[in-house]
Amino acid sequence: MNTISTITNNRDYIPTVNRIYTVKKDDSLFKIAKEFLGDGNRWKDIHDLNPEISSPNLIYPGQKIKIPVKRDSSKPVITDENYDTYQKKEATPQVFANPLNSNKTSKQGFILPVEKIRIVEGGRWGAPRKGKSNGHKGVDFAAGSQKVRAVADGVVTFAGKQKDYGNIIIIKHSNGLETAYAHLNSNYQPPNKGAHIRQGEMIGVSGNSGNADGICLHFEVRRGGVAINPMPFLGLS
């Protein structure tokens, strides 16, 4: 669950959402601050969030620490708690007849990335794409404007923009697979790179960024960086 807190010594971090980071071998607060906050000298911001760390040099591999997410103050940090408030400003979500049980776990341990789904015409895995020699690399859900959730536990390896994908979040899972969530709404702050995400945790809102024909979610499953058929992983045919 995200934790809202206020960092009073740096206006760029008011308010923010803390993310949990697992310390790696040879890590230091300076190194972590440089990677995630853009300035190693901001190690004090991390230290202030973790009073259990008696000394900046006394961190160890496997230790869980909080990291403030630097954010654009013009964009709300979206959480399950505040989603309904901000959602009132967005388009009304589409309602689909006979929605699938989105919380049911597939044989591969995944849940659906959105609660109410309808697969876009031509948006299935392998569908022909106009002007392209290869088929569709994922599945497109006509999600309307609604929450996008992580299908399984994992760590964010990328959160930003990528050409046709628009706003995209990529999560690496313990089984070596990666999942990608694209065309996300531009008005919300994505989780930080390195953030540990739990299954079902909200990571964004479906949108039409990038090369999207409408408000939707483009979802991919990747193995070794190569997209594979996501349908069986979601329990879909």
| Closest to 44 in 3D by CA, of 8, 5, 16, 71 | 8
Rounded Cα gap, residues 139 and 218, in angstroms: 6
pLDDT by position in tens, the chain (length 237) = 333 333 333 323 333 456 778 888 889 999 888 877 778 888 988 998 898 888 878 899 989 888 876 555 555 555 555 555 555 444 344 433 334 445 678 778 899 998 877 666 555 555 555 555 456 688 888 766 788 999 999 999 999 999 889 999 999 998 899 999 999 988 777 888 888 898 988 898 888 898 887 888 999 999 999 999 998 898 876
Prediction pTM value: 0.62
> What b/e string do you get for 29-52 counting C-beta neighbours within 10 Å, with b at 16 or more?
bbebbeebbeeeebbebbbbbbee
Q: How many CB atoms lie within 10 A of CB 196?
A: 16
Q: Are 184 and 204 in contact (CB under 8 A)?
A: yes
φ, ψ for residue 135, nearest 5 deg: -80, 175
Q: Are 183 and 166 in contact (CB under 8 A)?
A: yes
| Closest to 153 in 3D by CA, of 172, 168, 137 | 172
Rounded Cα gap, residues 208 and 22, in angstroms: 33
Question: What is the enclosing helix (H) or strand (E) of 86?
Answer: helix 83-87
Q: What is the set of domains in the chain, with CATH numbers?
A: 3-68 (3.10.350.10), 83-234 (2.70.70.10)
